[in-house]
Structure 1
Amino acid sequence: MRSSLLRVGVVAGASALVLATMPASLVSASPVTDPPAVDCQSVLAAPTLDAAFDAAAEAADVPSDLLRAVSYMQSRWEGHDGRVSNDGGYGMFNLKSTTTAVPDGAGKGSTDRSPRRTASQLERAAELTGIPASTVRSDDRANVCAAAALTASYAPDLNASTQPQRWTAAIARFGSADTFERQVLTTLREGRARTTSGGETVTLDGDPTVDVAPPSASDPETDCPPDLGCEWIPAGYEKLVPSDPDSTGNYGNHDKADRTGPGGPKLKYIVIHDTETAYDPTIGLVTDPGYLAWNYTIRSSDGHIANHLDPKDVGWHAGNWYVNAHSIGIEHEGWAGSAGWFTEAMYEQSAKLVRHLAHEHDIPLDRAHIIGHDQVPGVTSGATRNVHWDPGPYWDWEHYFDLVQAPIGQSAKNTSSVKAGDVVEVRGGYADNVNTITGCQQASPGSGDCVPGQGTNFVLAYQSPSLEAPLANDPGWKPNGAAGTTYASDISARIQSGHKLVVAEVRDEWLGVWWAGSLVWVHNPATRPVVLRTTAKTVTTTSTTAAPIFGRAYPEPEAYAPYEIPVQSIAPLEYTLGAGQTYAVSDDDVVTDYYYAQSFDGSIPDDRTDVKGELRYYQLWYAHKQVFVKADDVTLLDPGKRAVVPTRLPKITGEAKVGSALTVSNGRWSREVTDFRYTWLVGGRPVAGATGYTFTPRPADAGERVVAVVSVDDPALHPMLAPSLPTAKIQR
């Protein structure tokens, strides 16, 4: 049970006995003159994590389910192996390592509100339990016991039998006095059960008698659910030089528009960002008219939401003006390279907000419209290398879409039963989906070092069907043709959960799929399949000419004729959709427009006009991005029809010998090739060693047929041929 130290102060005791019976690795190196307030031995020895919660509750005299609920809302009962969270906390309870100044009587019913410096939660936990702070950070059971001791110290007049509602002041010390309290009490009322990444099962039975106070109302200026407690903190919209005329173009940090009215542009996307700094500095940036604006910022510790823009206005957050004009941007406190973690409190609040916005503005709840900043394309050739890659490899898209109530793949099961022509959707898992990441701190200063064993949100694409093969190339990220790498910001070969692909070939446990203009390979073993079969419209080229790919769906030049608005060039990206390649369509109803906004007060000719065009585009799943292709350059196939993948060998004609040219054709195109190899078959069986250009087969036995199996090896043809089909049989 909890020591009386928590109630009456320091008492004499058998500290030597406590130290003697604690494991040596958990004893602080510094001298201990008083016994710990909470004896954690039973907690450290608990056979299961679930039992550790009960043991900690008994040791500290606090409700065990309260501990479970607080921990769930911080980490979903994940300890993260001592890695720091995105708001500076450690372990299952996100215990902070920073010191704070709080009112002296906070949580004690005192009227004294004079500020004082307090030890960090980790320091205080070490004092209360006698366990070193380093162990509280890294050991799950130590973290549970430390949090129980802290909870008791935050409410010394309460005990385990006290109703949960009475513990709100203590709960607030782990999050906030409003949002987090309600999240914890709601979790207590509804219950939770989960198996952690370490295989520990924790169960919290719901208690319908728990009262949850009505939520704070969102500020009336916000575009939020009325009960989400959103705060209105407006972005800075000012002239950067106050003496400039109101017609100046020197202003910040967003543009006025009519996105929720008839003037447009229409809202189509929600872009998920991370802040790359803490919450308070982020608020300082968005309110600075000399910086950039986005729509919302969400705090990690408790999911508190600040709304900065009216949805009708355009923030400057995505690095692509077309996407800016059509999107809502949400910043989440955290770092893209952090192998740490985003709190459950933030995930849940963000998901509620996204669900509200998607419903209100008719935005599809899928991974093609609820996108990461890393899915936003560049705007011209060469620009892709400069776009951002947040929220990074550690944002749990699958869990997030579960919370949004639009699960990736819905009820479909992952499968290895896939064939050429199928459309599949990646669902690779998270905690048990470990991929090597390097350069975290270098790519995202503040992230800290990468941590081996951390779950990720993607599966890898390889250049050939082997785990030893080079990773796929993305010509936008690596125009020199280099293979993708494990570097934190290198998304060349990362196929995130929710991405749809068209299968061109299946080889054993490998799927050949189209990606960034090339055929790449995804490992899809039967023991752990990473894709599910799905449906989507698909596109392929209409000729032998590759179709250009675009980062913006801008109008044709004629659309600008009625206005005094400069024509915007329709410039392609580094990518193409090659002949014979097939990609899944993520939106066949793309808005073709350009929003013109150039002056502070909208007074220049045709300012704040949305130029709408007739040119049609399709939005595609292509590489790591969402991109656009002109409808006239491709053939669109409905989901009921199979993707355009050749089902018979292309025709190869000519004499298979050195110096000869073969003609390769498939009815839509033809090409002469001189670079080929062949294998002789006798009686339908290959002759050992009989490959190349110089082998002369033995005479055929009676009834045998001698055939050369010719393999075309012309790189120019690779994008034009399905990988299993660049061969044909030529009878001698």
Structure 2
Amino acid sequence: MPRFLAVVATSASLVLLTPFAGTAPATPATPSDRQQVYDAAAAEFGVPAEVLLGVSYLESQWNTYAGTPSVAAGYGPMHLTDFATANTGQRPEFEDSDGRGDDSRPMLHPAPVPTDVPAAALQTAQQAAQLAGVSAEAVRSDPRQNIRAGAALLASYQKQRSGNAGDWYAAVAKYSGATDSGSAADFADEVFQTIRQGETRTTDDGQQVTLRADAAVAPDTGQLAELHLTPTRSNGAECPRGVSCELDPAAYAQYGPGPDDYGNHDTSNRPASQKIDYIVIHDTEATWDTTLKLIQDPKYVSWNYTIRSQDGHIAQHVLAKDVAWHAANWYINSRSIGVEHEGFLAESGWYTEAMYRASAKLVRWLAAKYQIPLNRQHILGHDNVPAITPTLIPKQHTDPGPYWDWDHYMALLGAPRPLPLPAPPFGMLTIHPDMATNNVPFTGCVKSGVACPDRGASEVVLHSQPSDSSPLLTDIGLHPSGTPQTMDVNDVGSRVSEGQQYAIADRQGGWVAIWYLGQKGWFHAKDAVFAAGVVVAPKPGRASVPIYGRAYPEASAYPAGATPQDIVPMTYVLSAGQRYVFGGVAPSQYLATVWDPTGTVNTKPVNGKTRYYEIQYGHRVEFVNADDVLLLPAF
């Protein structure tokens, strides 16, 4: 390895960051009356203010989300739920594609989506409204009334009034809506941990709220027994301690006479057979109940874990040693773990803090166990996974979408935080918008062409020139006819996401351009920070080099009798003069699979001599043959 690689790039996560010169300073938080609203509601209904603030933080981070419901049909800072008014139509993530992503086998044809009936526990807005003496509509739309109603509901769960915060453990646990003891305890424990540590932040509508730390608070955890909840099943689930987690095995069965007529995952022996390199973040596009029904269909696909929105409860469906069919790319599937989150990206549903925290605990534990770097080259959204062939690019999925808070999530994971990098400017950057104020005018959240609700996003739109009025870039893979990209929430061909890294192509005033899909993509420099690392460029004399959606071995690597898999170049190329950020070495492997009800078949992958590098090429990662390119320091 060249010396500069040893210094800069054991992985692309080793970055040093600083704001671009000329970036406007952060707007200081302004005093607000939201703090007084919490204090007044706490006093009115006899709830300790720190308990009310802690519960609200775990539900919403004190945000209002402009009155739009969460993925669990919750409204406002107190996440009071009303499934009857929330627009959460079912469109399961894989109903129109093959999550297996293996073109050596026929595409799956899932059964129709099962009918879902929301749980009664999700209906709290009406009850809270009655307790507070206001209308349910006010609870959904008015932050003050939402906080009052939440305080009233929390107080109704408390058997005996007490000014001691620790005496409210059972009431807090009940507020979670969980029906099992583990999930309720996890929620309550996180609330009291937040109280002990304290929090302060500016909300999405510009209100500064503070929960002062009180390390002396000692919750009476023994109160949990008073709720008479169902014990949480663990059943051998692979989860860290301190989370509510159960094993709910995915279907593994034959449904036809053919050798490939089985589903919905493959048995294997990871990591002994091959390393797990990625964790892929999804949203379900369906409710929890529907999702658990779908995982039992052998004609459907699978994923390793699902996380419930209302309380962060985790269900594991496929053991880590086996391969779930979740990313629509067999190479990524065979080297990854898929984590689904109850949610609806296109309907602008927001994700609860309880779900973020449970997910971060799980993913942090998995990353440590399997030595997966905590960076956006290895912690991927499904929207960052490449298609396997050019014709399938338009079918590749776009979840978890622009409203997933990647900055907050990576911080919860304990990913490396930015450090200052001195001038002069370096040759790469990290996307880093302020999600609270980054109100991107997406369309199509509810109806095609109609503006989405005004709220913060973790993605930044790219333009063809340093001007907001200039056209977006064109993704020839996503739009083969050459039509320009749109602002539709699912149209990812001219967008970058928090934490992704790109090579700098140009700068002009307050604008910066990156190399993106073979073009210069311009955006406001304030939405990024400088980074140091390694980039990939074509070798001298090469006008362009091919790009691949998977890193498959050369034909000579396959044993006798095995069918070599095609190495299919994508529509895109890496052209001379362009640079793309190096995401790590990608081993050339192909995992052949068979129906194995005994779990005893040795499923070793085919390992090739060809070397590939992962690169950040567009919104999605791609792969290049290492023999075609050079690795260069991004200086």
Aligned to 2:151: 148
Alpha carbons 1:299, 1:333 under 8 Å: kept = yes
Between the aligned partners of 1:294 and 1:608, the Cα distance in structure 2 is 19
Q: Residues 271-295 of structure 1: CA distance to partner in whole angstroms, max 9, x if unpaired?
A: 0000001111101111222211100
Q: Residues 620-649 of structure 1: CA distance to partner in whole angstroms, max 9, x if unpaired?
A: 01110110001111122135xx3xxxxxxx
Between the aligned partners of 1:557 and 1:47, the Cα distance in structure 2 is 65
User: What is the Cα deviation at residue 174 of structure 1?
Assistant: 3.3
Distance 1:371 1:54, change over 3 A: same
AA in 2 matched with 1:125? A
Output the TM-score relative to the length of structure 1: 0.72
Distance 1:59 1:597, change over 3 A: same
Between the aligned partners of 1:563 and 1:497, the Cα distance in structure 2 is 45
Between the aligned partners of 1:159 and 1:191, the Cα distance in structure 2 is 23
One of 241, 259, 274 as aligned partner of 1:226: 241
Q: Residues 481-535 of structure 1: CA distance to partner in whole angstroms, max 9, x if unpaired?
A: 22221011101111111111111221112212210011221221xxxx1211112
Distance 1:168 1:598, change over 3 A: same
Q: Residues 139-180 of structure 1: CA distance to partner in whole angstroms, max 9, x if unpaired?
A: 11111111111112222x322424434441354133323221
User: What is the Cα deviation at residue 602 of structure 1?
Assistant: 7.9
User: What is the Cα deviation at residue 92 of structure 1?
Assistant: 0.5
Q: Residues 106-148 of structure 1: CA distance to partner in whole angstroms, max 9, x if unpaired?
A: xxxxxxxxxx989942212222222221111111111111111
Q: Residues 592-634 of structure 1: CA distance to partner in whole angstroms, max 9, x if unpaired?
A: 1000003234899x97230000001110011101100011111
SS at match of 1:549: strand
Q: Point out the structure with max Rg over C-alpha.
A: 1
User: What is the Cα deviation at residue 306 of structure 1?
Assistant: 0.6
One of 614, 621, 625 as aligned partner of 1:630: 625
SS at match of 1:150: helix
- Which runs of 5 or more residues in structure 2 are unaligned? 1-30, 85-118, 179-183, 225-230
Distance 1:68 1:578, change over 3 A: same
One of 234, 245, 263 as aligned partner of 1:252: 263
- Counterparts in 2 of 1:174-573, with a 5 A limit? 174-176=176-178, 177-212=184-219, 213=221, 219=234, 221-241=236-256, 248-261=259-272, 263-264=273-274, 266-407=275-416, 410-412=418-420, 419=425, 422-442=427-447, 450-524=451-525, 529-542=526-539, 543-560=541-558, 562-573=559-570
Aligned to 1:33: none
Between the aligned partners of 2:420 and 2:234, the Cα distance in structure 1 is 40
One of 172, 175, 186 as aligned partner of 1:173: 175
Aligned to 1:125: 128
SS at match of 2:339: strand
SS at match of 1:383: helix
SS at match of 1:590: strand
SS at match of 1:347: helix
AA in 2 matched with 1:495? V
Q: Residues 323-349 of structure 1: CA distance to partner in whole angstroms, max 9, x if unpaired?
A: 000010000000111323100000011
Alpha carbons 2:200, 2:211 under 8 Å: kept = yes
AA in 2 matched with 1:313? D
One of 73, 80, 102 as aligned partner of 1:95: 80
Alpha carbons 2:538, 2:574 under 8 Å: kept = yes
Distance 1:218 1:121, change over 3 A: closer
Q: Residues 429-450 of structure 1: CA distance to partner in whole angstroms, max 9, x if unpaired?
A: 211111111011247xxxx975
Between the aligned partners of 1:205 and 1:426, the Cα distance in structure 2 is 32
Distance 1:206 1:449, change over 3 A: farther
One of 569, 573, 577 as aligned partner of 1:576: 573
Alpha carbons 2:157, 2:174 under 8 Å: kept = no
Between the aligned partners of 1:430 and 1:117, the Cα distance in structure 2 is 33
Distance 1:47 1:197, change over 3 A: closer
Distance 1:342 1:222, change over 3 A: same
Aligned to 1:38: none
Alpha carbons 2:303, 2:337 under 8 Å: kept = yes
Alpha carbons 1:396, 1:456 under 8 Å: kept = yes
- Counterparts in 2 of 1:47-58, with a 5 A limit? 48-58=33-43
Alpha carbons 1:428, 1:459 under 8 Å: kept = yes
Alpha carbons 1:548, 1:572 under 8 Å: kept = yes
User: What is the Cα deviation at residue 91 of structure 1?
Assistant: 0.5
Aligned to 1:34: none
Aligned to 1:699: none
Between the aligned partners of 2:311 and 2:607, the Cα distance in structure 1 is 42
AA in 1 matched with 2:187? F
Alpha carbons 1:126, 1:133 under 8 Å: kept = yes
Distance 1:602 1:168, change over 3 A: closer
More displaced 10-residue stretch of structure 1: 482-491 or 198-207: 198-207
What is the percentage of aligned positions where both structures have the same residue? 39
Between the aligned partners of 1:47 and 1:158, the Cα distance in structure 2 is 32
Between the aligned partners of 1:307 and 1:68, the Cα distance in structure 2 is 31
Distance 1:117 1:621, change over 3 A: closer
Alpha carbons 2:61, 2:77 under 8 Å: kept = yes
AA in 1 matched with 2:365? H
SS at match of 1:297: strand
Alpha carbons 2:81, 2:122 under 8 Å: kept = no
Output the TM-score relative to the length of structure 2: 0.83
Between the aligned partners of 1:628 and 1:168, the Cα distance in structure 2 is 51
Structure 1 residue ranges, 4+ long, deviating more than 6 angstroms after superposition:
116-119, 214-218
Between the aligned partners of 2:420 and 2:408, the Cα distance in structure 1 is 16
- Which runs of 5 or more residues in structure 1 are unaligned? 1-45, 100-115, 643-732
Between the aligned partners of 2:348 and 2:618, the Cα distance in structure 1 is 24
Distance 1:635 1:98, change over 3 A: closer
SS at match of 1:185: helix
User: What is the Cα deviation at residue 476 of structure 1?
Assistant: 1.5
Between the aligned partners of 1:182 and 1:70, the Cα distance in structure 2 is 11
Alpha carbons 1:81, 1:139 under 8 Å: kept = no
SS at match of 1:521: strand
More displaced 10-residue stretch of structure 1: 504-513 or 346-355: 504-513
- Counterparts in 2 of 1:652-671, with a 5 A limit? none
